[in-house]
Amino acid sequence: MKRTIIVAALMLACAPAAKAQAVLDLSLITCQQLLASDTERQALIGSWMSGYFSASKNLETLDFRYLERNRRVILNYCKTHKSETVMSAMQKNWR
């Protein structure tokens, strides 16, 4: 019994630590952080924001032309407003 407890404790001590899940507060991301992100992360943030603003306007459809247009407009806007949050940039430029 004592040996089993020791073995179990050693196994737990040697087990790799679990990776923590990342939590991202999208209302706090700055334009500079968005611009420094890789393309995949930019697309993820843009998609989430698209859904967020579409839901706020009670829109039930997704027009991919606007998604791409908004992505370009926000990235261009962020280049000259790096300290602004992405949420604020989207509120000013989203269609």
User: Where are the chain's structural domains?
Assistant: 21-93
Tens-place pLDDT, residues 11-58: 444 545 555 557 778 889 999 999 999 999 888 888 888 888 888 888
**Which position has the higher pLDDT, 85 or 60?**
85
| Residue whose tokens read 């992405």 | 86
Taking the C-alpha atoms of residue 37 and residue 45, their distance in angstroms, rounded to an integer, is 10
Residue length, the chain?
Answer: 95
CA torsion sign, 65 to 68 to 72 to 75? Answer: positive
In this structure, how many other beta carbons lie within 10 angstroms of the beta carbon of residue 45? 20
**Which position has the higher pLDDT, 95 or 38?**
38
What superfamily does domain 21-93 belong to in CATH?
Answer: HNS-dependent expression A (1.10.890.10)
